[in-house]
Every structure is written in C-alpha cells, then in structure tokens.
C-alpha cells in the first residue's frame, strides 16, 4: 500500500523470487562448504604428496571460481533486486534494521573475492603453508557470510524478542539462529561433497578418481547424517503456529516434505552405494548426477518449508506477505484501506467504481501471492467456485479459517468491493448478495443480522421455535431486545429469513436441507476445492463413508482442517456431497 506493485499477472512475484532464491541457495551453500572441501582436499594432497589429487583440486577450484564467484555472487545480488521489487516494504524494513549486518557481509564478500582469486591464481606458485592459509581465509569469510545472512533470514521467521525491544542483536540471534546455522553449515558441507563427487568422476587417473570419490562420499554422508538432527532441532524451536504449518497444516509444505523425504532416502542410498559397493560400476557420472539432484531436492524442500512456515507473514508477526504491518490492521479496518494506500486511484468505494476499487484492493492485498490466470496460485481458478456472498464471508474470516492467508484489511465496503472484483470481475458471476445461490434467506440474514450476531450465536437462542414464532418475532425485533433495531423489509424477505432461521435447528424440515448442504459446502470446502477436484476423489464412496470422513478430515489429508460443524450439519453436508458426486447411497 505504501509502494506500487510490479504487475506481471502470468508469473507473479512469488514464483520469480522462488526461482532466483532456490538457484542462489544451492550455489551459495556450495560456496561455503566447497571452501572447506578445497582446503581439506588440498591438505590431503600435500600430506600424501599426491600430484594427481593436487591437479584435481586446482581444476575443481577453477570450476568453483566460475560457479560461485560469477553465478553465486550475481544471483545473490539478484535476490536483493527481486525482493526489493516484489516486497519493497519488507526489504526496506530488513535493510533498515540490519544495515550494518549487510554491510559487514559485504566486507566478507570482498575478502572472499580476494582470497579466492589469490588461491586460484597462486596454485603451485606459493608455499603450501601460506596457500593453505589463504584457503582458510576464503572458507572463514564465506562461512561468516552464511553466519550473517542466516541471522537475517531467520529473523524473518522468528523475530523473537526483537518484537518488543527492536534491538539489532535480539533480532539477529533469534530463536532459530543456532539450529539454522548448524543445519545450513552441514547442508553446505553435504553439497560440497556432492559437487566433489561430480567433478571427481571426470578424473582420468583411475586411482585418483576412486580416492576422491570415496573422500567426497564420506564428506557427503557425514554431513548428511549431521544435518538430520539439526533439522529436527530447527523445527522443534519454531513457534506453535509455524510448527503447525510445518506439521502439515500447509498444503505446500506437505508437498515439500514428501519431496524432502524421498530426496533424503535417495541421497543416502546412492551415496552409500557409491562409496562402498562395486566401485567400478557404481561410481559413474549418472550416479553422481542423481546425488546432485537428490541433494538439491533435500535442500530445496527445506528452503521451501522455511518460506512457507512464515506465512501469512513476510516477517513473522510484523508484516504480512502483502506488505501490510500487523500493527496497522486495526486502524486501517476502522479508517479504510484505500484512504491509507498511496498507490491507488480510488480512495473510496462507490457504486460506480466498485470493481475498479476491488481490483486495486486485489493488487495491493492478494497479488503478492496470487497470479491472475498465471502459472502459480492462480486467483481465477482458486475463486471460481465461490459466489459473491460466499466470497464476502470467506474474506471476513479468511485468516481465521486458513491461518496462512493474511486477513483482509479494510472496511466492510472495501471487502465487498474485493469480493465483487474476485467474483463478478474475474469470474463473471452475478453480483447478488445471496450467500448460496437459491438461499435468499441466508443472504438476507448475512447482510442484515450477522454484523451483530451470526447464525451460530442465534441458533441455540431459537432452538425449539416454530417457523411462525420466528416470523412473528421478525416483525417486532425491539420487543425481543431493545438494542435491536426494527427489521423493515418486504414480507417476502422476512419469510425467507424466517425459513432460513428455522432451518438452522431443523435441517430436514424444509426444502433447505439440500440448500444447507450446498451452503455448508460453499462456506467450508470451496475455498480450497470445488466439486471438480472433489468428485473424482469421492466417486463411488457411500454416504456413510463420506459422513465418517467428515468427522476427521485431517486424517484424509493433514493440510485439511477438521470440520467443526454439528452432527446435523455434517449429515446435510454428506447428503449434499453424495448427491453431487453421484456416489452410492
């Protein structure tokens, strides 16, 4: 809201950040672990007086120089460029908070460059002791870069006591700092071992090749083994909500975890095979490429998980993914978002500009994570099953229902404008306030009553009331409670509301049984999956099976929240699903 948005509907910013970040993560960790690998391998060559190993180390250094200094250095700059484009507000906050951390990192970057140049260009031209010392300087500087960036990245996930005191060191040495530092260090050593594998297979000297493959394998295996408990330590210090997401409440993390598990297993298996078994057949280029891919899969899933565990924030508990500060939400809800946003043309929602204002709200609140008809997290596909009324309700509790989505920030009229844009604007749906198509009573209730009391509150109050009693009460609401204003509406509207309220406690009594199921489905299921997704999955299921599944949705898929509806509601929902899916009775 403070900044303009780079609008590339097909790609979306998130995907671009992910692409650049993942590439950089591999190379930058390799730059750290590889530093240690080079010095240790050189030491091995010196101790064993082995010229073929020394020649290998020199060749590996050239590859290392070209990969880490050019590609690693520039993709690091690229991350900075792209985050300032996609998350300018968050970048500004991080830069301002940690400027001297970044500045110190720049010094280590400079030392790294000089050390690597000197190390590479003086191979065989400098005494061993000094050359080794230069190598150690390189590794030290590279590891210090990791140390510094680690503090800042982990701050984004767990700001810790910085939230209260805004102290640099409190933010830097945050709760995940140490486990993450160890984990990343072992990861970087593991990657170095895997890269070592790759380059070693190109060695022509048989003896040297086997020696270096064995050496690299032990490197990778030990680092891999040590990375697992530190990864566990990392997860154990996460705050509850983030751990909940890591534990499966986030669908994207669930996918990443599967990739990680398979990669880890494949990596361990192939590495052990390479080192121990059948040296002639197993130690091939294809096998080392599998190792690389598995190592990257393992590391990539970790990074993906870390990013996703922060949602809905870009800086946990401070700033949402869309750049809105958590502390501003209440104020903006009162004053209105558009009035507070700098980069909008519609400062107020009117009948004439509703869709256009909704588009601006979308741009500033949703586009940070959603593309429009694009590759990743397409908003059109995600919202196609929701109508205007359901969308409004969804937006009102979006963060409560799905923790990883940021709350809608703004006043009620703005929320309607966004709902209008998402349904009528993007999905060409009619702009009627009926919550579920065909259930006018529910829609009218949402509009006229729900601001003070939702159906959940009202339901026990009117338990046992006949429809007529409810209908009569609607004619004279202040008699029930002097704080309630009269409901002045046409008779037909009042009838519809009475029908709806009666159906809350008597789902089977009116034609609304089907409507109730439809409404419940729209409210609770459609935000994640419509029938197009569900139908093939439940096709052939009996009503009993569906009804049982509704009791424990998280058992079906850990990303699904359990459904908290009453038994009657679950019955109605199961009825509706079985009918729609054409399943067996």
- Tell me, by CB under 8 A, how many residues bind another protein: 64
H runs (alpha helix) in 476-530: 477-480, 491-505, 512-524
234 vs 554: CA distance, rounded Å: 24
The residue range among 67-75, 387-395, 414-422, 571-579 that interacts with another protein, by the rule CB under 8 A, is: 67-75
Task: Please report whether residue 420 would count as binding another protein according to CB under 8 A.
Answer: no
Neighbours of 452 (CB within 10 A): 12
Spell out, one character per residue from 349 to 388, where the chain touches another protein: x when CB under 8 A holds, - when not: --------------x-------------------------
At its nearest, how many Å lie between another protein and the CB of residue 374?
Answer: 13
527 vs 394: CA distance, rounded Å: 8
Instruction: Select the residue interacting with another protein from 56, 108, 189, 465 (CB under 8 A).
Output: 108
Exposed e or buried b per residue across 206-218, where buried means at least 16 C-beta atoms within 10 angstroms of its C-beta: eebbebbbbbbbe
Three-state DSSP state, 313: strand
Closest CA to 60 of 87, 84, 41, 82: 41
Task: Please report whether residue 136 would count as binding another protein according to CB under 8 A.
Answer: no
The residue range among 26-34, 62-70, 180-188, 468-476 that interacts with another protein, by the rule CB under 8 A, is: 62-70
At its nearest, how many Å lie between another protein and the CB of residue 578?
Answer: 46
Closest CA to 306 of 250, 366, 229: 250
Three-state DSSP state, 163: helix
Task: Please report whether residue 325 would count as binding another protein according to CB under 8 A.
Answer: no
The residue range among 233-241, 340-348, 491-499, 546-554 that interacts with another protein, by the rule CB under 8 A, is: 340-348
Q: Please compute Rg for the chain using Cα positions.
A: 30
Instruction: Select the residue interacting with another protein from 17, 115, 436, 516 (CB under 8 A).
Output: 115
Three-state DSSP state, 488: coil
Instruction: Select the residue interacting with another protein from 36, 78, 142, 437 (CB under 8 A).
Output: 78
Three-state DSSP state, 319: strand
The residue range among 124-132, 182-190, 433-441, 576-584 that interacts with another protein, by the rule CB under 8 A, is: 124-132
10 is written with which tokens? 């097909």
Task: Please report whether residue 277 would count as binding another protein according to CB under 8 A.
Answer: no
At its nearest, how many Å lie between another protein and the CB of residue 338?
Answer: 13
Exposed e or buried b per residue across 310-341, where buried means at least 16 C-beta atoms within 10 angstroms of its C-beta: bbbbbbbebbbbbbbbbebbeebbeebbbebb
The residue range among 121-129, 298-306, 424-432, 452-460 that interacts with another protein, by the rule CB under 8 A, is: 121-129
The residue range among 50-58, 90-98, 261-269, 568-576 that interacts with another protein, by the rule CB under 8 A, is: 90-98
Task: Please report whether residue 97 would count as binding another protein according to CB under 8 A.
Answer: yes
Non-local CB neighbours of 121 within 8 Å, separated by 6+ positions: none
Closest CA to 351 of 404, 417, 305: 417
Spell out, one character per residue from 143 to 172, where the chain touches another protein: x when CB under 8 A holds, - when not: -----------------------xxxx---
Which spans of this chain sit near another protein (rule: CB under 8 A)?
2-8, 16, 66, 69-71, 73-75, 77-78, 81-82, 84-85, 88-89, 91-93, 95-104, 106-111, 113-115, 117-118, 122, 124-127, 130, 134, 137, 141, 166-169, 342-343, 345, 363
């Amino acid at each position: 809201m403070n900044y303009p948005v780079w609008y590339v509907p097909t790609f979306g910013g998130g995907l671009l950040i992910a692409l650049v970040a993942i590439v950089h993560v591999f190379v930058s960790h390799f730059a750290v672990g590889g530093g240690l690998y080079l010095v240790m391998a050189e030491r091995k060559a010196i101790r064993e007086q082995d010229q073929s190993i020394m020649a290998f180390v020199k060749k590996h250094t050239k590859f290392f120089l070209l990969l880490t200094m050019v590609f690693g250095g520039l993709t690091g700059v690229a991350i900075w460029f792209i985050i300032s484009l996609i998350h300018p507000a968050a970048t500004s906050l991080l830069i301002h908070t940690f400027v001297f951390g970044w500045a110190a990192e720049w010094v280590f970057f400079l030392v790294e460059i000089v050390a690597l140049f000197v190390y590479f260009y003086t191979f065989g031209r400098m005494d061993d002791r000094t050359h080794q010392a230069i190598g150690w300087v390189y590794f030290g500087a590279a590891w210090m870069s990791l140390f510094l960036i680690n503090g800042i990245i982990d701050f984004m996930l767990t700001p810790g006591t910085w939230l209260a005191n805004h102290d640099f060191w409190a933010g830097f040495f945050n709760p995940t700092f140490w486990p993450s530092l160890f984990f990343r260090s072992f990861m970087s050593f593991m990657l170095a071992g895997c890269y070592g594998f790759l380059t070693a297979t190109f060695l022509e000297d048989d003896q040297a090749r086997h020696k270096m493959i064995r050496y690299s394998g032990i490197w990778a295996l030990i680092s891999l083994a040590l990375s697992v408990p530190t990864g566990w330590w990392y997860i154990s210090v996460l705050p509850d909500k983030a751990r909940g997401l890591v534990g499966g409440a986030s669908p994207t993390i669930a996918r990443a975890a599967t990739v990680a598990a398979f990669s880890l297993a494949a990596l361990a298996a192939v590495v052990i095979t390479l080192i121990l078994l059948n040296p002639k057949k197993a130690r091939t280029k294809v096998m080392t490429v599998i190792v690389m891919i598995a190592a990257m899969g393992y590391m990539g899933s970790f990074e993906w998980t870390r990013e996703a565990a922060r949602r809905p924030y870009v800086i946990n508990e401070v700033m949402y993914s869309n750049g809105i500060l958590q502390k501003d939400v209440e104020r903006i809800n009162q004053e209105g978002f558009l009035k507070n946003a700098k980069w909008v043309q519609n400062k107020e929602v009117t009948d004439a500009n509703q869709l256009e204002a909704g588009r601006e709200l979308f741009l500033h609140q949703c586009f940070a994570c959603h593309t429009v008809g694009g590759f990743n997290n397409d908003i059109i596909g995600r919202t196609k099953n929701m109508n205007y009324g359901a969308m409004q309700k969804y937006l009102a509790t979006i963060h409560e229902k799905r923790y990883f989505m940021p709350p809608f920030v703004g006043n009620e009229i703005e929320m309607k404008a966004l709902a209008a844009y998402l349904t009528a604007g993007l999905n060409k749906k009619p702009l009627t306030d009926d919550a579920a198509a065909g259930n006018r009573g529910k829609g009218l209730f949402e509009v006229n009553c729900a601001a003070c009391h939702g159906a959940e509150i009202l339901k026990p109050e009117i338990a046992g009331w006949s429809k007529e009693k409810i209908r009569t009460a609607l004619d004279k609401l202040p008699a029930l409670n002097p704080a309630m204003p009269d409901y002045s509406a046409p008779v037909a509207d009042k009838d519809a509301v009475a029908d709806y309220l009666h159906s809350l406690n008597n789902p089977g009594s009116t034609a609304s049984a089907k409507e109730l199921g439809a409404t419940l489905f729209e409210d609770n299921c459609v935000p994640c999956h419509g029938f197009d997704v569900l139908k093939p999955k439940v096709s052939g299921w009996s009503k009993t099976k569906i009804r049982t599944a509704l009791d424990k949705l998280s058992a079906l898929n850990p990303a699904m929240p359990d459904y908290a509806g009453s038994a009657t509601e679950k019955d109605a929902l199961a009825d509706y699903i079985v009918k729609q899916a054409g399943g067996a009775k």
